[in-house]
Structure 1
Amino acid sequence: MQDQTIDVRSGENINIDTLSAYLKRHVPELTNITEVRQFPGGFSNLTYLLRTNLGDWVLRRPPLGAKIKSAHDMAREYRVLEKMGPIYGRIPALVHLCEDETLLGYTFYIMERVEGIILRNKPPQGLDLSPPRMRAISEATIDNLALLHQINIESTGLTELGKPEGYVARQVSGWTKRYHNAQTDDIAVMEELANWMVQNQPIDGCPGLIHNDYKYDNLVLDQAEPARILAVLDWEMATVGDTRMDLGTSLAYWSEGPEAKVMQLAASNLTWLPGNLTRMEVVERYQHTTGHQLDDILFYFVYGAFKIGVIVQQIYSRWKQGHSKDPRFSELIHAVHYFGNLARLAIEKDRISQLL
């Protein structure tokens, strides 16, 4: 039931001899890398499986053609994981960080592989995802997000990751700028949302740790008990700020049944399967656990949908420039329209659930 790998895609190969010789100098116990495979899931950083005499490792590197260093900073992500390990625990063990870009052409880091289930668009064969099981998984997912958001960022030193003050305004202006920098098509709804967010943004509050990409396919679940989370992955955008913005992003990824029938990217997050919490049930459970004030949940959801639209636009722009051969990326412009229209529907209906 573990995440499946594929042969490394053309143009995304790793020089195994160079990598092996380098790692032997830094990890003395390593004798050989027997195989390199690629994880096909995900739309951002490239991730590889390294089979070694010390067990399975995972190598992460930036995507081809990425010019947004702040979003693909492998060294920063590695240091976030170093800091989070003793504080939180559900973090893969780290092996090595290489910042010498002359070696392979990019900064990369290696961590141990956490064996478990990752829920992607196609559920692992033989896994029970009945309504009671999905209910338990969805509840555990939101409880874990609430736990992350309640970590004391002052006593743990996590304030070093960012600046909570002014976080909402910076995110609105920052993601709007990123959209314009990556824009390939005229999409009126994205401009409408950018203006709406400026006019409706709430004041900062609820300062805490933000994962910034918290969803099912970034969780490793226990094979024996899938409602038990073993590890949280992909900390590349982690920071500190208004945690309700993080909740908003997760809610925008949290697709409901009818939405999965309309957009393939929405269907890839299995929150639409029967038994899952609805988005409003997510809000109610999260609020009960954290006590956070969520009167402005519409804004946080709209922000999350806009942000996902921008991320997808950035990936599509890199594909259009020829930096990626991944065939999934060719249709992503439709997802930009989808998430923009989903946010507009939420504004029109003044709710975040049952939008389609």
Structure 2
Amino acid sequence: MNSSITQQIEIEKNKGALAEPGTEVLQDWDRLATHLDDHGLRLDLEITPMQFASGFGNLNYLIKIDHALAVLRRPPMGPIPPGANDMAREYFILSRLSDAYPLAPRALHFCESTDVLGAHFLIMQYRPGLIIGSHIPQTVFERWQGEEPIGQRLGEQLINALAGLHRVTPAEVGLDKLGKPEGFIERTLKGWKKRAELAWQDSVPTSLLNVIEWLEVNKPDSATSSFIHNDFKLDNMILDPDSLQPVAVIDWDMGTQGAPLYDLAVLLSYWTETADPQCMHDLAQMPTSRHGFFGRQQAAEYYASLTGERMEDIKYFRVLASLRIAVVFRQLYRRYQEGGTQDERYATFDALSAQLAEFAQAVVENKYF
């Protein structure tokens, strides 16, 4: 076995990036090997595929193909919300975006059939590095030699990478037919309203109904358009562990053409501040309430300084993204309720989603940026 590959696998294990033994969602690796062999690719099963420890979305596995490490991505087990976990879409994006946006990994293979692993899947380039979720590992503080606080560097890197994506011209990379910029706001609001009705059935919280009514009345007349990631956040960025420079942005299955301020607002919907209500801290998505991160408004102002984007409509997109995240956590609870996962973390998401709906109404009322 190649010593550099062995070393990289050990690095992933040591930093806790891989799922604990016995907790993995196993796949039919022999069937995958046969499938890949039919497509001129060799899966090396001398190295057992290993699942990455993940959040609440797609399942990711570290595998070895043709003498190099790669990543296999497939939807989670159980029912999938409409339009979510679209590996075909992600493969299409990664097949075209990486030349213009080097942080996008290259796509290597896509399988549409469900006969191999029970769901469609893609294989993409592996980019080693550090992923930071709700907490910054102690080793990062020990290695950090920058003059500014770690949070300031991470916040700047996030906004820099997002602004860089929004500079990509979709037509130049063959992504101009993916999504429809016209009517993006109306479709997005309609889609999340429908998902809220499905997720809560006949019991959509009053606070969320108020938010939806406000969004319907206050739609901007127009919005600029760019290619957007649609779920841009810290743990979807892979970082160099020493410089904290980004080496990759991942999780492109919802990418489309749309309003760049919505992409920014989605990022800010995960961006907790110290004075936020408990539900925003319970999200535990990004460690932005400490370590020197700037606040949401400062993040928006920094983005504007990089892009020249006008901020008159940022409140609208903040409210729309706040609706989205409340619905997402209710959808996750429904997956748990319907037996799609046994992860006990999901049991708390019913209450959390209702509290996030109240926070969305507080954004409407200008109590929070």
Which residues of 2 match residues 119-134 of structure 1 at below 5 A? 119-128=132-141, 132-134=149-151
Does 1:211 find its partner at 2:224?
A: no
Answer whether contact 1:44 1:315 (CA < 8 A) is retained: no
Cα-Cα RMSD: 2.2
Answer whether contact 1:66 1:72 (CA < 8 A) is retained: no
Residue of structure 2 aligned with 1:253, choices 270, 283, 301: 270
Residue of structure 2 aligned with 1:271, choices 267, 288, 292: 288
Answer whether contact 1:164 1:207 (CA < 8 A) is retained: yes
Deviations for 1:236-269, whole angstroms, at most 9, x for unmatched residues? 1100011111111111111112338555543331
State the Cα distance separating 1:81 from its structure 2 match: 0.8
The one-letter code matched in structure 2 to 1:196 is W
The one-letter code matched in structure 1 to 2:253 is E
- Residues 11 and 321 (structure 1), Cα distance of their counterparts in 2 relative to 1, 3 Å cut: farther
> Match of 2:215?
197
Unaligned runs of 5+ in 2: 1-10
The one-letter code matched in structure 2 to 1:301 is R
Structure 1 distance, partners of 2:162, 2:105, is: 17
> Match of 1:109?
122
State the Cα distance separating 1:62 from its structure 2 match: 1.1
- Residues 31 and 143 (structure 1), Cα distance of their counterparts in 2 relative to 1, 3 Å cut: closer
Deviations for 1:104-153, whole angstroms, at most 9, x for unmatched residues? 21101112321101111232341117962221121121011111112222
For the residue of structure 2 that corresponds to 1:58, the secondary structure is strand
Answer whether contact 2:196 2:204 (CA < 8 A) is retained: no
TM-score relative to the length of structure 1: 0.91
State the Cα distance separating 1:170 from its structure 2 match: 0.8
The one-letter code matched in structure 1 to 2:350 is I
Does 1:342 find its partner at 2:359?
A: yes
Structure 2 distance, partners of 1:232, 1:63, is: 20
State the Cα distance separating 1:57 from its structure 2 match: 2.2
Structure 1 distance, partners of 2:156, 2:220, is: 27
Does 1:46 find its partner at 2:46?
A: no
Does 1:285 find its partner at 2:298?
A: no
> Match of 2:168?
151
Residue of structure 2 aligned with 1:188, choices 193, 203, 206: 206
TM-score relative to the length of structure 2: 0.88
> Match of 1:77?
90
> Match of 2:330?
313
Answer whether contact 1:207 1:241 (CA < 8 A) is retained: yes
- Residues 321 and 9 (structure 1), Cα distance of their counterparts in 2 relative to 1, 3 Å cut: farther
Deviations for 1:289-347, whole angstroms, at most 9, x for unmatched residues? 11111112211111111101111111111110001112221111122123212221122
> Match of 2:192?
175
Structure 2 distance, partners of 1:27, 1:258, is: 55
Structure 2 distance, partners of 1:103, 1:70, is: 21
> Match of 1:329?
346
Answer whether contact 1:167 1:204 (CA < 8 A) is retained: no
Structure 2 distance, partners of 1:55, 1:65, is: 31
> Match of 2:4?
none
The one-letter code matched in structure 2 to 1:93 is R
**Sequence identity, in percent?**
31
Aligned length: 351
The one-letter code matched in structure 2 to 1:257 is T
Answer whether contact 1:204 1:242 (CA < 8 A) is retained: no
Answer whether contact 1:56 1:113 (CA < 8 A) is retained: yes
Structure 2 distance, partners of 1:22, 1:30, is: 9
